[in-house]
C-alpha cells in the first residue's frame, strides 16, 4: 500500500461528492448514529463523504484518514473550505489500515468506501485485507458498525467478517460486482 500517483488520485476523487451522497442515501436508515458517536473514515480521499457524514450525523468525533498524505491534505483543504473553520469534532490523520493507531473500542462506526482493496499490492489479492478487517474489529466498540463498499473479493471479505463475529445488517450488490454493506461487530 502506498501513495497514489496523480492519475490514481484523480480517478478516486472524481465524482466523489455525488457518489458519497448516493452511498448515504442507499444506506438510508440502516446506518443510524447518535450525535455523540465516534466515527472513523478510512480512505477518505478529498473528504466528500466525510463532509456528508459530519453534516448528516454530527458525530462527537469524526476521524478522517487516508494512507496517502497528499489525500489527507486535500481533505483538510476541502473540509476547511466547506466548514470554515474546520469543526472541532473533525480530526484528519494519515494512517495505515493494517495498523490503526487507536485504542481498542475507540469508535462506534468505521466507514471504508472503496478502499480496502488498496491495502493489497494488487487490488484483486486477498492477503492483507483480513488483517485490515481484524484491525477494524479491534477499534470498533461492541455492537459498533462497519459500513463499506468494495468491488473485489467481496465474498471472501464477507466470510472473514463473519469469522470475526460480525453480523450482516445491510447488503446491496451493484454493477460489476460492487457491494455496499453494513455489518455489526460482536458485543
Sorted by where each begins, the domain ranges of the chain are: 6-184
pLDDT digits (tens, 9 = 90+) for 15-59: 566 788 899 999 999 999 998 999 999 999 999 999 999 999 999
pLDDT of 9 reads: 45
Give the HSE-up count for residue 182: Cα atoms under 13 Å, Cβ half-sphere: 17
Handedness of CA 31, 107, 75, 56 (dihedral sign): positive
Answer for the pair 163, 126: CB distance below 8 angstroms, yes or no: no
Count of CB atoms situated within 10 Å of the CB of 174? 12
Assess whether pLDDT exceeds 70 at residue 3. no
3-state secondary structure of 124: coil
Give the HSE-up count for residue 177: Cα atoms under 13 Å, Cβ half-sphere: 9
pLDDT of 134 reads: 98
What is the DSSP secondary structure assignment for residue 3, as one 8-state letter?
-
Q: Which residues, including other chains, have CB under 8 Å from residue 186's CB and lie 6 or more apart? A: 142, 143, 164, 165, 166, 167
CA distance 78 to 48: 8
CA distance 45 to 52: 13
pLDDT of 176 reads: 74
Query: CATH number of 6-184: 3.40.50.150, 3.20.20.80, 3.40.1080.10, 1.10.3720.10?
Result: 3.40.50.150
pLDDT digits (tens, 9 = 90+) for 54-84: 999 999 999 999 999 999 999 999 999 999 9
pLDDT of 5 reads: 53
Q: pTM, whole model, 2 decimals?
A: 0.90
Amino acid at each position: 500500500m502506498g501513495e497514489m500517483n496523480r492519475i490514481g488520485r484523480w480517478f478516486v476523487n472524481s465524482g466523489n461528492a455525488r457518489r458519497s451522497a448516493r452511498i448515504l442515501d442507499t444506506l438510508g436508515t440502516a446506518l443510524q448514529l447518535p450525535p455523540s458517536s465516534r466515527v472513523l473514515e478510512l480512505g477518505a480521499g478529498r473528504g466528500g463523504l466525510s463532509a456528508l457524514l459530519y453534516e448528516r450525523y454530527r458525530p462527537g468525533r469524526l476521524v478522517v484518514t487516508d494512507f496517502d498524505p497528499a489525500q489527507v491534505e486535500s481533505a483538510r483543504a476541502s473540509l476547511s473550505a466547506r466548514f470554515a473553520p474546520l469543526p472541532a469534532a473533525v480530526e484528519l490523520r494519515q494512517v495505515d489500515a493494517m495498523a490503526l493507531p487507536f485504542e481498542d473500542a475507540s469508535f462506534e462506526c468505521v466507514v471504508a468506501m472503496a478502499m480496502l482493496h488498496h491495502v493489497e499490492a494488487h487490488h484483486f489479492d486477498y492477503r492483507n485485507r483480513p488483517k485490515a478487517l481484524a484491525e477494524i474489529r479491534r477499534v470498533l466498540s461492541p455492537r459498533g458498525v462497519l459500513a463499506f463498499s468494495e468491488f473485489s473479493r467481496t465474498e471472501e471479505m464477507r466470510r472473514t467478517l463473519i469469522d470475526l463475529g460480525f453480523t450482516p445488517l445491510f447488503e446491496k450488490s451493484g454493477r460489476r460486482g460492487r457491494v455496499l454493506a453494513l455489518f455489526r461487530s460482536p458485543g
